[in-house]
Structure 1
Amino acid sequence: MIKLKKKHFNFNIKNSLIGIFTGFVNGIFGSGGGTLLVPILNNIVKVEEHKSHATALSIIIFLTSASSVIYISKGTYDISLTLKVALGSVIGGIIGAKLLSKVTGKFLRISFGAIMILASLRMVF
């Protein structure tokens, strides 16, 4: 069982603004909020590399849940595609989470940066 200490619930305007920003990006683009979280957690909040990746993944649950409720209520989603991709994403998520602790922070930084560059080039061209 996870024990949460009182310090985990201290209100922080900076963290709330980060949440609003990443939630907005996730809501409007359908993704990206979690992708922005890793560098934000590393560089602004000063969270260690492995912990920032794991924390971003945990935050994504809330980002996508909030956005998904709106998308589903408006009918702007494909349930068939969702179910088809969901199984693979669960399997991939488990594999990735197990591998996270086995790679170095430098590897995470470089590989994440490379994926971000490739994704941005794909979006532009």
Structure 2
Amino acid sequence: MEKPSLSFKIILLGLITGMINGLFGAGGGTILVPGMFFLLGVSQHKAHATAIAIILPLTLVSAFIYVKHGIIAWDVTLKVILGGVVGSYIGARLFARISDNLLRKAFGVFMIIAAIRMVF
């Protein structure tokens, strides 16, 4: 049986990520980072940084639809954005100082904790 082409894998990864992002309001990092690392062979740091660049347009599309349907809590949104901008700056600065191995393990632990919290 023939292996799927790289272009097919990339498009499928994007399709799945977009659907998860639109449905759950999340999924960019949790789908993209492992997908790029394991399926496409992208280094850990590049997978995380690339995921952030990919998530922006996906989030804009989803947010537009959520705004259109009037389902955004603006009082919460604006306050979280304020803290999120500062946190993003700090996280991005720390990102460059962490090894691929530590980054992969920390991300894995974060995903496990998040999954457990969502189930229970």
Q: TM-score, normalized by length of structure 1?
A: 0.88
Q: Is the counterpart of residue 48 in structure 1 residue 43 in structure 2? A: yes
Which amino acid letter does the alignment assign opposite residue 107 of structure 1? L
Matched residues, number? 115
Which amino acid letter does the alignment assign opposite residue 40 of structure 2? V
* Structure-2 separation of matches of 1:115 and 1:47: 20
* Structure-2 separation of matches of 1:116 and 1:27: 19
* Structure-1 separation of matches of 2:45 and 2:108: 14
- Structure 2 matches for 1:6-85, cutoff 5 A? 12-85=7-80
* Structure-1 separation of matches of 2:61 and 2:7: 21
Partner in structure 2 of residue 3 of structure 1: none
Structure 1 consecutive aligned stretches of length 4 or more whose deviation exceeds 6 Å: none
Question: 2:29 touches 2:48 (CA, 8 Å); kept in 1?
Answer: no
SS at match of 1:12: helix
Question: 1:34 touches 1:56 (CA, 8 Å); kept in 2?
Answer: yes
Partner in structure 2 of residue 110 of structure 1: 105
Q: TM-score, normalized by length of structure 2?
A: 0.91
Structure 1 residue corresponding to 2:117, chosen from 105, 110, 122: 122
Aligned Cα root-mean-square deviation (Å): 1.2
Identity %: 47
Of stretches 11-20 and 21-30 in structure 1, the one that deviates more from structure 2 is 11-20
Partner in structure 1 of residue 82 of structure 2: 87
* Structure-1 separation of matches of 2:85 and 2:31: 21
| Cα displacement (A) at 1:63 | 1.4
Gaps of 5+ in 1: 1-10
